[in-house]
Structure 1
């Protein structure tokens, strides 16, 4: 199918030198079914333009006049400044922070953001850790594959829950069922004959069994949710699918005179751009000594048990990225809100054609992660558990396993972006990773150096 921006008459009359960053609106109704290669590239290009656009007040950029709560909630008092690092807006463009080593990448410490609990309605204007957590900017390369993995794993876990409930009803007895998908265990549940479920043995996932693969805490379900959230909090650009008249009774929730600042078509384009960012690769260094050390370091990685959580790859059945997705919820466009979701076939992209496959034909996504939350700090190793404020019911010392792909190009490390070397990052591991960190500490310097040499081959771009 073809994709057209669908420019309005007002947009067509706008002069080329206009300071509007959003040049054209994209008609969401034209985004349906599987996009052909040309249409997909057109949409990706439009999404990249929006990702790099420096939003202005003519677009509606400015103080969002809403908290970081999922349900649109207005601030109680007016802001003192137009730009405000703590409650937004704090950036002109998405690429202001996602730019290392290229657009869509990570950000340095200078690009850190502050996040609140997410469900609270309180205003906050202080860096006191009782009110906000400071976080580094993650890279987005390979994020389309990550979301597809999360969708498939969510479907697997929910199917296992359904089967356990059927067995409990049929037998009249409680049924304990392990939960696992793609080689990753999420503990177990006990299904009861009355249709209820005991989740006390669940591990690393919420009781609704939805994997939320984005953010350091694993609280963002999809690129769409991430995009809608961050457009608002970082730019004051409010997407109509959350802040529009359907949910708030007005098209101008932030009261800046600009209605429906970002439409669902523009969000879709930004999702397509992010989902299409290529997967980082494990590269072969040109230096022969580096290649030799990296080979030895790969073996050290396995011997230390790092691959227990940083799994080298996870198998993916399908590269068809549906947007909106199957687990998008209120606050984002959902499948029931459109006649037919658009399908972005990532298999049409050149970088995806080079991904390895297993004997079943499944794509092996080389993310070095498991899309699961783990306790990563303890009393002896508290560095990665130094937040005071819990986020979305996730405990303070529990974080998503960081995907290692691309880390050679996306320093610094840690959820706050304040760890400057890989050696420091490894030594800071506690909790579930304590044994591996302890074993690493005991290694001779040559083997520790070899592991770092190998990690430095995991690059965003060759």
Structure 2
């Protein structure tokens, strides 16, 4: 009797373990849990966040716990750079920021990056691009030996700068809730499908992108380089770097030219920061507006079909993680023009200089950019990471690198079909509930801080 009971117990354990293994395998193969509910915050919290988003900060601002605006900054408020289509939208080229990245070297193996700020609260804090060379000097070339052969190397400038345009924040809370597992699952599906086509001798289509895995193992979703995993991380960095508002997650940016600038108390306390995040988190999602006339409806519907047919939807995935109409895969893709010297990616130093130390494998290359979500794209011109494409048509034609075949397919469409694609993109609008952005203040930054704009 005892042996019988022991056998039954062993069988139950074996079946339980088999069930757990099967469940684990099913979970690995599944797309993860979809987003079930819309972001929510209490009305009074959202109102407090809106007030912070629209507030024009000043040095020693009474709303700040620290020293207020600055000491270096790019704008006086969040809405100054996020206003197109309403409060929370994208920005124009006038409000682009200048980002820099310093390639790793033998003496400095880590990648360094940041912003060259437009403004400062005092003249002595002004930042200029020329200051970067003091911190990241050019590496002189010379003769080195590789595999027994002498190789002449060129000087290498580790600094790369890029003008970066402000993205729209509508629907950011929905994007924040899309799981990394869903993004990885869609990426794997795309990879498997491409392998299948290549086995069938079809080598066309877009080159596969890759997710950005951050040092802590999380998947990046926010920022042009997917450098932030969550909306909270993104907001913390924007407050600290763009307005100089220290917060519970990140201290304020310090002047490049003043390494000894003192630490100060965070400008935003926890309640203020949470309110600001809650407001951005609950911004309405963009909408797909159905045109009024039957002819326009038919053209937009055909354009949506052409969008998928030529391959745009391979990267601008319509639905992700249970959220419909986002049109992004959240992956990094190379968008350089490889017919240009140096690949068209901007380059570090001379176009044929070889970096002495490669970038970390998980780190984006200079020509890699995260696929932006296209919902609301009709109200977010100019386009691309640098705002260098003023129209939807120019943005499409600029897609090179990994998307070169897709761009070629679009060019080969009849003019009516190309126009239909544009008509489809024009119905992807900012949310109708978006609050109109306030008019810019007549008080200039120079009047507010006593300094002038410099580059």
CA distance in 2, matches of 1:304, 1:38: 38
Matches within 5 A, 1:338-357: none
Structure 2, unaligned runs of 5 or more: 1-38, 103-110, 117-126, 131-157, 194-207, 253-259, 349-358, 433-455
Q: Would you say how many aligned residue pairs link Structure 1 and Structure 2?
A: 312
What is the alpha-carbon root mean square deviation over aligned residues?
A: 3.4
For the pair shown, the structure with the greater C-alpha radius of gyration is 2
Among 168, 178, 188, the residue aligned to 1:139: 168
Structure 1 residues 385 and 145, CA gap change in structure 2 (3 angstroms): farther
Q: CA deviation at 1:211?
A: 1.8
Q: Provide the residue aligned with 2:406 in structure 1.
A: 436
SS of residue paired to 1:242: coil
Does the 8 A contact of 1:114 with 1:134 survive in 2? yes
Q: CA deviation at 1:121?
A: 7.3
Q: Provide the residue aligned with 2:296 in structure 1.
A: 290
Does the 8 A contact of 2:172 with 2:281 survive in 1? yes
Q: Provide the residue aligned with 1:348 in structure 2.
A: none
* Alignment deviations for residues 357-385 of structure 1 (CA, whole Å, 9 cap, x no partner): xxxxxxx3310111111122231379995
Structure 1 residues 202 and 447, CA gap change in structure 2 (3 angstroms): closer
CA distance in 1, matches of 2:418, 2:114: 46
SS of residue paired to 1:378: coil
Q: Provide the residue aligned with 1:203 in structure 2.
A: 210
Q: CA deviation at 1:120?
A: 2.4
CA distance in 1, matches of 2:115, 2:381: 31
Q: Provide the residue aligned with 1:120 in structure 2.
A: 112
Q: Is the deviation greater in 268-277 or in 120-129?
A: 120-129
Does the 8 A contact of 1:184 with 1:370 survive in 2? no
Q: Provide the residue aligned with 2:83 in structure 1.
A: 99
Q: CA deviation at 1:186?
A: 10
**Larger RCO: 1 or 2 (CA < 8 Å, sep 6+):** 2
Does the 8 A contact of 2:115 with 2:241 survive in 1? no
SS of residue paired to 2:333: strand
Instruction: Determine if the alignment matches structure 1 residue 310 to structure 2 residue 316.
Output: yes
Structure 1 residues 242 and 302, CA gap change in structure 2 (3 angstroms): closer
Instruction: Determine if the alignment matches structure 1 residue 378 to structure 2 residue 337.
Output: yes
Q: CA deviation at 1:151?
A: 4.5
Instruction: Determine if the alignment matches structure 1 residue 387 to structure 2 residue 346.
Output: yes
CA distance in 2, matches of 1:412, 1:57: 31
Structure 1, unaligned runs of 5 or more: 1-36, 65-87, 158-178, 188-200, 245-252, 317-363
CA distance in 2, matches of 1:382, 1:406: 34
CA distance in 2, matches of 1:150, 1:39: 20
Q: Provide the residue aligned with 1:238 in structure 2.
A: 246
Q: CA deviation at 1:240?
A: 3.6
* Alignment deviations for residues 319-377 of structure 1 (CA, whole Å, 9 cap, x no partner): xxxxxxxxxxxxxxxxxxxxxxxxxxxxxxxxxxxxxxxxxxxxx33101111111222
Q: Provide the residue aligned with 1:53 in structure 2.
A: 55
Structure 1 residues 439 and 416, CA gap change in structure 2 (3 angstroms): same
Q: Provide the residue aligned with 2:46 in structure 1.
A: 44
* Alignment deviations for residues 88-147 of structure 1 (CA, whole Å, 9 cap, x no partner): 312110000001111110001111012233852789544579453210110001111111
Q: CA deviation at 1:425?
A: 0.9
CA distance in 2, matches of 1:300, 1:269: 42
CA distance in 2, matches of 1:236, 1:210: 26
CA distance in 2, matches of 1:105, 1:449: 25
Instruction: Determine if the alignment matches structure 1 residue 148 to structure 2 residue 177.
Output: yes
Q: Provide the residue aligned with 2:325 in structure 1.
A: 366
Does the 8 A contact of 1:373 with 1:399 survive in 2? yes
Structure 1 residues 121 and 274, CA gap change in structure 2 (3 angstroms): closer
SS of residue paired to 1:232: helix
In the superposition, the TM-score normalised over structure 1's length comes to 0.61
CA distance in 2, matches of 1:136, 1:108: 7
Structure 1 residues 315 and 270, CA gap change in structure 2 (3 angstroms): same
Does the 8 A contact of 1:384 with 1:414 survive in 2? no
Among 366, 370, 391, the residue aligned to 1:400: 370
Does the 8 A contact of 2:319 with 2:327 survive in 1? yes
SS of residue paired to 1:94: coil
CA distance in 1, matches of 2:320, 2:314: 12
Structure 1 residues 202 and 94, CA gap change in structure 2 (3 angstroms): closer
Does the 8 A contact of 1:43 with 1:269 survive in 2? yes
CA distance in 2, matches of 1:408, 1:152: 29
